[in-house]
């Protein structure tokens, strides 16, 4: 597992500190675990950036629930992306869908462009699609550098075959990063069977030897 990059979802300052100490390579900083992760306060982003020498990605999600956002929510997301850039974040994590649960190509492209030079990850909104292979191409076309996915199943272990197929289809065009129920006891099997190079988890056990 030494060649794997481990991203740990952290929901407060304390969990970020533990992830760093455990040997994580990157933090996905969020707030509100109960909502599945929403954008943390700018103060927390700044504090984590100041205190820890680690790659820092920040979720850009103004609320829990679906991924179809109002014009006002999109404006908030844009402002949050600019704030993350100014705070020195390395990347942002988001995904915008249409009212019909399809990728909103125009808005995603706009936010990816706004985020540069930070990297952009399309989050697990990807797992709501019936045809992940068709939508992989759409996400690539939007300019994202990474997709976080459980293979459109309840967990990465359950979606392992789809993840492996996405890795093959993606080639070197985008990083496929499995997430969802990844723990110490299944991480090696998932990595070997899918060929992924990056792993996302909220469990510190995946990076503690």
Spans of all domains in the chain: 5-206
Provide the H-helix boundaries in 89-129: 105-115
The residues near 96 (Cβ < 8 Å, ≥ 6 apart) are 67, 68, 69, 74, 77, 103, 104, 107, 108, 111, 125
| CATH number at 5-206 | 3.20.20.380
* Locus of tokens 């068709």: 134
Instruction: Show pLDDT as tens, one digit a residue, over the chain (209 residues).
Output: 568 999 999 999 999 999 999 999 999 999 998 888 899 999 999 999 999 999 999 999 999 999 999 999 999 999 999 999 999 999 999 999 999 999 999 999 999 999 999 999 999 999 988 899 999 999 999 999 999 999 999 999 999 999 999 999 999 999 999 999 999 999 999 999 999 999 999 988 888 65
pTM over 0.85: yes
Whole-angstrom distance, CA of residue 133 vs CA of residue 79? 31
């Amino acid at each position: 597992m030494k060649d794997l990059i481990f991203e740990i979802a952290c929901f407060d300052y304390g969990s970020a500190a533990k992830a760093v100490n455990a040997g994580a390579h990157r933090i996905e900083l969020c707030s509100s675990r109960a909502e599945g992760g929403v954008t943390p306060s700018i103060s927390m982003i700044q504090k984590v950036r100041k205190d820890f020498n680690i790659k820092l990605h920040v979720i850009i999600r103004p609320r829990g629930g679906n991924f179809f956002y109002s014009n006002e929510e999109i404006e908030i997301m844009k402002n949050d992306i600019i704030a993350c850039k100014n705070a020195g974040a390395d990347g942002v994590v988001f995904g915008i869908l249409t009212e019909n649960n399809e990728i909103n190509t125009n808005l995603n492209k706009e936010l990816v462009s706004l985020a540069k030079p930070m990297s952009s990850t399309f989050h697990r909104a990807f797992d709501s699609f019936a045809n992940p292979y068709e939508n992989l191409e759409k996400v690539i076309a939007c300019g994202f550098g990474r997709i976080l996915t459980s293979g459109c199943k309840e967990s990465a272990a359950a979606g392992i075959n789809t993840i492996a197929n996405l890795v093959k289809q993606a080639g070197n065009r985008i990083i496929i990063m499995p997430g969802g129920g990844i723990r110490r006891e299944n991480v090696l099997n998932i990595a070997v069977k899918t060929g992924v190079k990056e792993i996302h988890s909220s469990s510190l056990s995946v990076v503690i030897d």
